[in-house]
Amino acid sequence: MQDTAQWGTEEGINLVAFGGGVASTLAAFLVHSVFEARCVGVFGVGQRTTEGQLQRARTLAECLGASLSCVCDVLLLWPTLAS
């Protein structure tokens, strides 16, 4: 927990890349345990993201008491840029 406190911030927001797997859930737990309201999980939504993956991430974030924000791959918004 001390290492987590050294790497995070008391003044800003601590973002955690959160996919709902074991590693990101542990990271979110550690950051949320130290910074509570200053912890936000960020879930990246891409072309291959399933509803099940998103729901699992939402459920786990809720269990941790952490907020979860979803971000969309910019290439989904402008498909012509992907080619």
- Identify which of 9, 28, 8, 4 has the alpha carbon closest to the alpha carbon of residue 17: 28
User: What DSSP state is assigned to residue 48?
Assistant: T
pLDDT above 70 as % of the chain: 86
Domains of the chain: residue spans and CATH: 2-82 (3.40.50.620)
**pTM tops 0.75:** no
38-50 pLDDT, tens digit per residue, is 888 888 888 788 8
The encoded tokens of residue 63 equal 């269990």
The encoded tokens of residue 19 equal 């996919």
pLDDT for 79 = 54
The encoded tokens of residue 29 equal 């737990």
